[in-house]
Chain A
Amino acid sequence: MITNFRLWPESASSVAGQVNLLFVVLLIICTTVSVGIAVFLIYSAIRYHRRYENELGSQKRYNIPIEVTWTVVPFIFFIGFFVWGAKLYFEIERPPDNAISMYVVGKQWMWKIQHPEGQREIDELHIPVGRPVKLTMTSEDVIHDFFVPAFRTKQDVLPGRYTTTWFEATKPGKYHLFCSQYCGTKHSGMIGWVYAMTPADYQTWLTQGAPEGSLASTGEKYFHQFGCANCHHFNSQGRCPDLRNLYMRPVLLTTGKTITADDTYIREKLHDPDAQVPWGFSSGVMPNFTGVVSEEQILALISYIKALGPQPGTQEPASSGAAPTEYGTQKGIGGPGATSNAGSQVEKR
């Protein structure tokens, strides 16, 4: 236990340095204050030690300027900490647009990870150094938490919805992955490793073993296997929406609300198809897939729908020959690039 004893965690992500800085500054200020108070207390207790039995202390009861000072000054410091913490938080919570998307399904008591190129991992995550990686995560059972101390990131993984986290590794290495939301008997066993690799090594790793092809092609397979293609084919004559150019576009619902077709929207459609019906289509048509598709299969399907375009951040719909059916939007509402999160569940960016 002596050999790999350490007092400071490894810092291996693009935000770790800033988290460290905030921590150290807080540490210095709080230590100074704590030590100051402790020293002052002990000094006073010694210097003003009772000298005779019926001695009294000073009878001064208050001092308004001092009272105001030690109310306002700490408050100012606290606001400073708040602002700094909040700014850092925005950075940690918002994945950059060019992040590679990977998918995580947590369950008692393992982590199942899917790469867009098709690799699947259990309790291990290989990522390239120097590129942001965004994880879209869900749980099959209870609440878990994806925690990588070296990256200073952490996010609860919930059943029934998606949460996201992102990080960019800055140096190659092997870093602890912990589940940090108590989830039952083997909670302390729901651990693993994140392997950050140089881009070259990562490319090599990628080529080694994704026999089924990319995640999107697996999703396409499921698209046909579960019968989605029977209805959502590309000239369905208005029975079902065309899923091309759907991903992350605005959708007008029968209720009049406009929402964004994000991961959560797609997942919701599978579990509760009549909750959010696009304008111009009827409810009671799409079957409910609860219990039919697993969380991992849903993520593959999402990958496929993503691949049908448009790519996030682009204005133009992906070209695909026939003009895609513009559905769910009236001209003028929710044009290209406009997003409205009104309909999506609370989700982490």
Chain B
Amino acid sequence: MSDPVVLELREQFATVEQQRRTAGIGIWLFLMTEVMMFGGLFVAYTVYRFSHPQAFAEGSSHMDIVLGSINSAILLTSSLTMGLAEFSAKLGRQRLLSALLAITILIGLAFLGIKFTEYYEHFQQHEAPGVWFNHAGPHAPEVQMFFVFYFLMTGLHALHMSIGILLLLGLMGRNLIGSFSVVYHTPVSVVGLYWHFVDIVWIFLYAIFYLPGLHK
């Protein structure tokens, strides 16, 4: 099905194998930078969560656990479809690859849709930080802090998801013109790794924002 002689060997590399392995190092290093970036926010969140436990529990109880859980489920599913996409690229199954990429994109869009619905809900309930914030109970500034981190971290995550969706669209485009084959499909693996990483970040976000307020 695939064209076996489609080789995109860049001139600085001696072999396709070297090119593929170098791309691998590149994406892992990039993901490490992402870990450090999100990590900074996680550390700051943790510091404040320990100094204002009640306020953060209070904030967390205002999260929509149903929507959050749905989002987690579908995002995990999208990692499955992405993994299957990578596998189909390895096998050179062009049409299957396109289909799986399309499903992954749709799930990603659904995730974003649900996320923005949640944001809208929070706005309506005066939970968005800044001038829109209005909280009746005690510890209002600290509850606002919870929401600052919520919006900042899930917002950054949503930005990464959006970029991921664009990358997936790019992959679909390249696949449609026949760029990928059994021999060369590195971009699919690279974007796949990125997508899985964004998924893992969400798991942690889900845990720190949605779960603490469950006991209320």
Contact = CB atoms under 8 A, between A and B. Distances in A.
Interface residues of B, number: 2
6 contacts: A272-B139, A274-B138, A274-B139, A275-B139, A283-B138, A284-B138
B144 to A, nearest CB: 14
A346 to B, nearest CB: 10
A283 B58 CA distance: 15
Interface string B122-150: 00000000000000001100000000000
Interface of B: 138-139
Nearest to A290: B141
A253 to B, nearest CB: 12
Contacts of A275: 139
A284 B139 CA distance: 11
A109 B138 CA distance: 33
User: Sorted from nearest, which 6 A-B pairs have the closest CB atoms?
Assistant: A274-B138, A274-B139, A284-B138, A272-B139, A283-B138, A275-B139
Contacts of A272: 139
Interface residues of A, number: 5
A274 B138 CA distance: 8
B49 to A, nearest CB: 14
Contacts of A283: 138
Contacts, number: 6
Contacts of B138: 274, 283-284
A272 B145 CA distance: 15
Contacts of A274: 138-139
B139 to A, nearest CB: 7
Nearest to A283: B138
A274 to B, nearest CB: 5
Interface in A250-300: 272, 274-275, 283-284
A342 to B, nearest CB: 13
A273 to B, nearest CB: 9
A236 to B, nearest CB: 22
A29 B101 CA distance: 67
A170 to B, nearest CB: 40
Contacts of B139: 272, 274-275
Contacts of A284: 138
A274 B139 CA distance: 8
Nearest to B140: A288
A274 B140 CA distance: 12
Nearest to B55: A275
A283 B138 CA distance: 10
A272 B139 CA distance: 7
Interface string A187-203: 00000000000000000
B178 to A, nearest CB: 55
A284 B138 CA distance: 8
A275 B138 CA distance: 9
A275 B139 CA distance: 8
A264 to B, nearest CB: 13
A288 to B, nearest CB: 8
Nearest to B138: A274
A134 to B, nearest CB: 26
Nearest to A284: B138
A275 B53 CA distance: 10
A272 B51 CA distance: 13
A283 B139 CA distance: 12
Nearest to A273: B138
B171 to A, nearest CB: 49
B141 to A, nearest CB: 9
A272 B138 CA distance: 9
B175 to A, nearest CB: 54
A12 to B, nearest CB: 39
A274 B54 CA distance: 10
A93 to B, nearest CB: 23
Interface in A212-227: none
B54 to A, nearest CB: 8
A98 B139 CA distance: 38
A274 B141 CA distance: 13
A166 to B, nearest CB: 27
